[in-house]
Amino acid sequence: MSDYEGVAVYCETKEDKILPIAAEGLGIGRKLADTLGQKLSAVIVGGNISGLAQQIISCGADKVYIVDDLQLKDYQADVYISVLEKVIKQVKPQIIIMGQTDYGRELAPRLAFRLGTAATMDCVDLAIDAESKRLLQTKPVYGGNAQAVFITETDPQVVTIRTKAMEALTPDTSRKGESVTIPADLDASVIKTKTLERVVEEVAGIKIEDAQVVVAGGRGIGSADGFKQLDELAKLLKGAVGASRPPCDNGWIPDMAQVGLTGKIIAPEIYIAVAISGSSQHMSGCSGSKTIIAINRDKEANIFRQARFGVIGDWKKVLPAFTQKLKELMAS
Amino acid sequence: MNIIVCVKQVIDPEAPPASFKIDAAKNRAEMHGVPPVIDPYGEYAVEAGLRVKEAGGGKITVISLGVNLLREVVKKPLAMGADELILLDDEAYAGGDSWSNAYSLAMAIKKAGAFDMILCGREASDTNAGQTGPAISEILGLPCITLARKIEVKDSQLRIERVNSSGYDVIESPLPAVVTVSNEIGQPRYPTVKGIMAAKKIEPVIWKPTDIGIEAAGTGANTQRTKLRKLFQPVYEGKCDFAAGDSPEEMAVDLAVKLRQAKVL
Ligand SMILES: Cc1cc2nc3c(=O)[nH]c(=O)nc-3n(C[C@H](O)[C@H](O)[C@H](O)COP(=O)(O)OP(=O)(O)OC[C@H]3O[C@@H](n4cnc5c(N)ncnc54)[C@H](O)[C@@H]3O)c2cc1C
Domain count, chain B: 2
Q: Please indicate, yes or no, whether residues A17 and A160 belong to a single structural domain of this protein.
A: yes
Per residue, the 3-state secondary structure of chain B, as one string, reads: CEEEEECCEECCCCCCHHHEEEECCCCEEEECCCCCEECHHHHHHHHHHHHHHHHHCCEEEEEEEECCCCHHHHCHHHHHCCCEEEEEECHHHCCCCHHHHHHHHHHHHHHHCCCCEEEEECCCCCCCCCCHHHHHHHHHCCCEEEEEEEEEEECCEEEEEEEECCEEEEEEEECCEEEEECHHHCCCCCCCHHHHHHHHHCCCEECCHHHHCCCHHHCHHHHCCEEEEEEECCCCCCCCEECCCCCHHHHHHHHHHHHHHCCCC
Indicate if A223 and A174 belong to the same structural domain: no
Q: How far apart are CA B64 and CA B70, in angstroms?
A: 11
Q: Is residue A89 part of a domain?
A: yes
Range of the domain at B249: 235-265
Do A183 and A221 fall into the same domain?
no
Answer yes or no: do A186 and A225 share one domain: no
User: Which of A141, A149, A152, A189 has the most B C-beta neighbours within 10 Å, making it the best mutation to test the interface with B?
Assistant: A141
Residues paired with A311 in a beta bridge: A295
What is the residue range of A248's domain? Answer: 213-331
In a domain, B207, yes or no: yes
A245 Cα–ligand 1 center, Å: 7
Contacts of B120 (CB under 8 A, 6+ apart): B5, B6, B7, B42, B45, B132, B133, B136, B178, B179, B180, B181
Per-residue pLDDT reduced to its tens digit, B247-259: 999 999 999 999 9
A contacts of B137 (beta carbons < 8 Å):
110
Angle at B234 between CA B230 and CA B237, to 5 degrees: 150
The answer as to whether A200 is a domain residue is no
Contact B173 A307 (CB under 8 A): no
Question: Is A186 in the same domain as A323?
Answer: no
pLDDT, residue B265, reads 87
* CA dist., res. A19 & res. A7, Å (int): 19
Q: Is residue B228 part of a domain?
A: no
Pair (A157, A83) in one structural domain:
yes
Say yes or no: B199 and B243 in one domain: no
Same structural domain, B191 and B69: yes
Residues A227, A140: one domain?
Answer: no
B182 CB within 8 Å of a chain A CB: yes
Residue B230 lies in a domain: no
> What is the three-class DSSP state of A67?
strand
The CATH number of whichever domain residue A246 belongs to comes to 3.40.50.1220
- Contact predicate B30/B23, CB 8 Å: yes
pLDDT value of position A1 = 52
Give domain status of residue A27, yes or no. yes
Rounded to an integer, what distance in angstroms lies between the CA atom of residue A325 and that of residue A320?
9
Contact (Cβ atoms closer than 8 angstroms) between residue A212 and residue A183: no
Domain identity same for A172 and A222: no
Say if B143 falls within a structural domain: yes
Q: Are residues B157 and B245 in the same domain?
A: no
Whether A171 and A240 map to the same domain: the answer is no
Across the interface, which of B97, B146, B167 has its CB nearest the CB of A105? B146
Give chain A positions within 8 Å (CB) of B145.
77, 193
Q: Is the CB of A217 under 6 A from ligand 1?
A: no
Tell if the CB–CB gap between B226 and A150 is shorter than 8 Å: yes
CA distance B188 to A262: 17
Residue B190: count of CB within 10 angstroms of its CB? 10
pLDDT in tens, B147-197: 999 999 998 899 999 999 999 999 999 999 999 999 999 999 999 999 999
Residue B166 near chain A (CB below 8 Å): yes
Q: Which of A245, A255, A280, when mutated, tests ligand 1's pocket best, judged by the most ligand atoms within 8 Å of its CB? A: A245
Query: What pLDDT was estimated at residue A332?
Result: 85
**B26 Cα to chain A: minimum distance (Å):** 13
Q: Quick one: average pLDDT of B233-260?
A: 94
Among A130, A159, A190, where does a domain finish?
A190
A217 CA from centroid of ligand 1 (Å): 9
Segment B212-218 shows an average pLDDT of 94
| Residue A260 CB–ligand 1 contact under 6 Å | yes
Mean pLDDT, chain B, as a whole number? Answer: 96
CATH number for position A53:
3.40.50.620
Determine, yes or no, domain membership for B120: yes
Residue B229 lies in a domain: no
Please write the tens of the pLDDT for every residue from A276-311. Answer: 999 999 999 999 999 999 999 999 999 999 999 999
Q: Are residues A186 and A129 in the same domain?
A: yes
In this prediction, the residues of chain A whose per-residue pLDDT falls under 70 are: 1
Query: What Cα–Cα distance (Å) separates residue A16 from each residue in A48, A65, A78, A183?
Result: 8, 16, 22, 19
* B125 touches ligand 1 (CB under 6 Å): yes
Number of structural domains in chain A: 2
C-beta of A296 in contact with ligand 1 (< 6 A): yes
Q: Are residues B241 and B217 in the same domain?
A: no
